[in-house]
Amino acid sequence: AEFLAHYWEGRLRPIAAYAFGWIDKWARLASLAPGFVNLFTQLPGLRRVAKLAAGMPAQRQIPPFAAETFTTWFNKRPPGFEGRPKVVLWPDTFNNYFTPETAQAAVNVLEDAGYHVEVPRQHLCCGRPLYDYGFLGMAKSYLRRNLNALAPYLSAGTTLVVLEPSCCSVFRDEMHGLLPEIPEARQLAENTFTLSEFLDKKATGYVPPRSKSKAIVQGHCHHKAVMRFQSEKAVMEKMGLDYELLESGCCGMAGAFGYEKDKYEVSVACGERSLLPQVRKAGLSTIIVADGFSCKEQIAQQTNRQALHLAEVIQLAKARTVRGPGGMYPETQFVEPRRAAQKRSMVRAGFITAATVSGAVLSLILMKHKRAR
């Protein structure tokens, strides 16, 4: 990050740096009209232009934006359990703007564990995409803003739960190195937990729902390197999940690496080394578990399966204790409602666009007719 910051200082960077380094900004803008944005990024022809503009390979898919963000959903909910101990859930860019069902599941799990969940109301980002592309000054300003937003929780000793491993590793490992002059950065590191760590080490009275399902688990690189994986395994073992932790290394997506045009072949080759073949040969009722957004996208784009976050796996187990065993493709419970909402928003956007264009054309025809008279 330091090298890239110095190298690109005062110079225009490759387009991928702005497309992916500024992902939180683009996602926030897209959330104002996700149906229109998804029309542009998902329809044939238009999506080719979008990929070209972002410096993406033609083979990659642009993840569609959610019709409603997680924070919008959360702020519309009735007040939670005020008398309970508090926990703060971090609204990371990916689970907020792309897969809000994951964060929704986490809220339900934390409430089942006996906690009152709070979510910061302002737009926040951990800053990792920025310093990955050398926007170091901007990233540090993001980190300071995060500390200011979380200050009341830090002073109260409230735990921060982070669902996205790459974001969690920023707070746990890198923030106090980037901001050594701010003591609160180290305090945040000590108060930040993954969901599994929180359930394993903090919510010790919580008994997760049992599950007899089979699962294969892809550990995110930052998760394994910084937070370790013991708590993830402990929670799955408490559930009774028949799981296999894949020894597959990196999924190959590595954040935005796999979305860059000249990195695509390396990205896929990395996934094909172990992870992707094992996902393809897994039984159709086997749960694919991956907490990282990039891991989930690599799996979704290269196989016919969708991976679930641990929060969703727990929710799935809870639902099955009521409704009984599930069938094939257990991920559909979470993925299909999001896709249906995205399609509805795209259809609405399509109708509005068509009506606007038709109205403009009709107005031009009428104006031309009046002039002719």
Helix (H) or strand (E) holding 117: strand 116-118
Same domain flag for 152 and 13: yes
Give, in degrees to the nearest 5, the angle at Cα 55 between 53 and 57.
115
In a domain, 364, yes or no: no
In a domain, 44, yes or no: no
CA distance from start to end of the chain: 67
Same domain flag for 278 and 131: no
Q: How many angstroms separate the CA atoms of 186 and 171, rounded?
A: 8
Same domain flag for 77 and 216: no
Q: Are 145 and 231 in contact (CB under 8 A)?
A: no
Confidence of residue 31 (pLDDT cuts 50, 70, 90): very high
Report the mean per-residue pLDDT for the chain.
93
In a domain, 81, yes or no: yes
Same domain flag for 120 and 223: no
Q: Are 218 and 275 in contact (CB under 8 A)?
A: yes
If you average pLDDT over residues 323-338, what whole number do you get?
A: 82
**Burial zone of 204 (CB within 10 Å; 0-12 exposed, 13-18 middle, 19+ buried):** exposed
If you average pLDDT over residues 123-130, what whole number do you get?
A: 95
If you average pLDDT over residues 25-42, what whole number do you get?
A: 96
Q: Which of 150, 173, 201 is the last residue of a domain?
A: 201
Q: Which of 144, 172, 201 is the last residue of a domain?
A: 201
Q: 299-330, pLDDT tens digit by residue?
A: 999 999 999 999 999 999 999 765 555 678 99
- CA distances 145 to 31, 40, 124, 226, 338, Å, are 21, 32, 8, 23, 31
Same domain flag for 190 and 95: yes
In a domain, 42, yes or no: no
The more confident residue out of 359 and 323 is 359
Q: How many angstroms separate the CA atoms of 263 and 256, rounded?
A: 10
- pLDDT at residue 203, rounded to an integer: 96
Find the CATH number of the domain harbouring 297.
3.40.50
Q: How many domains does the chain have?
A: 2
Same domain flag for 156 and 243: no
Q: 223-277, pLDDT tens digit by residue?
A: 999 998 999 999 999 999 999 999 989 999 999 999 999 999 999 999 999 999 9
Same domain flag for 24 and 173: yes
Same domain flag for 88 and 173: yes
Same domain flag for 108 and 16: yes
Inter-helix orientation angle 136-156/183-191, to 10°:
70
Q: 130-186, pLDDT tens digit by residue?
A: 988 999 999 999 999 999 999 999 999 999 999 999 999 999 999 999 999 999 999
Poorest-pLDDT segment among 114-123, 132-141, 355-364 = 355-364
Domain assignment of residue 191, given as a range: 2-31+66-201
* HSE-CB of 40 using CA atoms within 13 angstroms: 13
Same domain flag for 175 and 270: no
Q: 5-28, pLDDT tens digit by residue?
A: 766 777 788 898 999 999 999 999
Q: Which two tokens stand for residue 114?
A: 């006996």
Same domain flag for 88 and 179: yes
Which of 253, 332, 330 is closest to 297 using CA atoms? 253
Same domain flag for 189 and 213: no
**Does the pLDDT at position 1 exceed 70?**
no
Q: Which of 138, 169, 201 is the last residue of a domain?
A: 201
Q: How many angstroms separate the CA atoms of 275 and 219, rounded?
A: 10
Q: How many angstroms separate the CA atoms of 27 and 106, rounded?
A: 21
In a domain, 45, yes or no: no
